[in-house]
Chains A and B, each alone.
Chain A
């Protein structure tokens, strides 16, 4: 379990992570979602004690990271697949990590096997492709057989086969009862792997909810209606008290997602319909809407309060 309380990181007057409080629970995959630059990596570095928080705290199973004895056996992390000395072989890279945490040498061979790098174990890491580097980083995270795993953008730059492998791995780790915390800037990726979602934007917490709940509350559905008798249809719908949004393309959109009453109304009034379809806004759109609002809110928070009415107080002087 990872617990964050009021975690804040400021660089000068820029706030990268702003008062984050949430808990990452065992047995499920928790997705950590936010646009690029939202503060995901900074948060992960603070969890590992690499960056010092300006305020707030992180606890790993109730302890500070520095208090963990042989931390790789508690928490394994993949932060940056390129963070390897290129002149060192995959085997030696993992061996020096294993030795620092008292992990037996035999384990190095095991994890290399798990990630499928046994054949290149003695090759220098600088010759590795991005995908192989990512696998080596994951091998390092699995090395101590930890109860908690943390991956920062693990599918970045991977081929479809590699992406599929990582998704399956994360799900199986969670199914074993481990805590899995994985960041991404892609909602579609999270929708496939995560059971729980933590969304941040501009360093602030925007959502901390189960994936199912997130989909339910954020996926906007509406009915698209197209008719050659557009004006007549508008009158009918208005008359029935239904709110209609006119789109530039000539189609009408009705919020709510029930097609039947619209079809029946049209039939009763003899209006010809060319289209009557239920549309589902994608989760990606929902996510973008959520984070866009955070950007907007941020801008307003810094500007002076807007006057009640335009021009009010113009004569009060500067």
Chain B
């Protein structure tokens, strides 16, 4: 365990000593909160003109998280850079010479980065909720309402898991450009398309972001027939994360360090 403590301290030094940590995480907070506030204000002003069916399924909690579709991209960049920086700089050879136990190295790095993202994610999620609700006026939800606290805590967990998934993918692909080139369009476009086209909807909703984001819904969407609940969805996302990290570890263990 002594080694793990040492490596965790070392990885914390690595994370806090590069500028990309600060700007990716600040971007995630600002984009998520600001966009959530904007869309909440928009919903508030147009509530009276909404069709009755939409009013019935209006989810004030979820609308304050609307900024997460963009904000998560900054989390993805953070997750990718934390791991792939080691490869793009060649630092991986120095790091693994210092810590030849590759499991200790990789999982300490991911634990430190995930802990930081969890803190930032929770702050983001609570900030997005309270500021978003402030924009919603009389249509607002309260933290004590059924399911709302779960959705807000879930928002922080969602951001953490999406960053961890990106770390696993980056550990497999090593190149930051390749990792971002796959993850960004996937989560921004492909997943949404697969989840909204009838033919692929049944598969699309098992993708990590589609399944995981259910935790942030309080009022079910009209005609929603997903076969899992909010925690079930987050569990599915968790399985994706485990798969990505396991893949990253197996490849790190087997490959030469370069």
Contact = CB atoms under 8 A, between A and B. Distances in A.
Interface of A: 45, 48-52, 65-66, 68-72, 77, 79-80, 82-89, 92, 95-102, 140
Interface in B129-160: none
Contacts of A51: 256-258
B155 to A, nearest CB: 30
Interface stretch (B17-25, B66-74, B170-178, B235-243): B17-25
A50 B96 contact: yes
A89 B6 contact: no
A102 B91 CA distance: 19
B93 A80 contact: yes
B258 to A, nearest CB: 8
A272 to B, nearest CB: 64
Would you call the interface of chain A mostly helix, strand, loop, or mixed?
loop
B252 to A, nearest CB: 12
Contacts of A45: 93, 256-257
A192 B221 CA distance: 78
Contacts of A140: 94
Contact of A50 (B11, B85, B91, B257): B257
Given A49-B96, A84-B90, A100-B95, 12 more contacts: A50-B97, A51-B258, A52-B254, A52-B256, A68-B100, A71-B98, A71-B100, A82-B90, A83-B90, A83-B93, A83-B94, A100-B9
22 contacts: A48-B97, A49-B97, A50-B93, A50-B257, A52-B256, A66-B101, A79-B94, A79-B97, A80-B93, A83-B90, A83-B93, A84-B90, A87-B17, A88-B18, A92-B13, A92-B17, A96-B10, A96-B11, A100-B6, A100-B7, A100-B9, A102-B2
Contacts, number: 93
A96 B13 contact: yes
Chain B: interface secondary structure? helix
A65 B102 CA distance: 12
B99 A100 contact: yes
A71 B9 CA distance: 17
B55 interface: no
Instruction: Determine which residue in A89, A99, A100 has the highest number of CB atoms from chain B within 10 A of its CB, and name it.
Output: A100
A88 B17 contact: yes
B80 to A, nearest CB: 15
A79 to B, nearest CB: 6
B6 A101 contact: yes
A52 to B, nearest CB: 6
B46 interface: no
A83 B20 contact: no
A156 B71 CA distance: 45
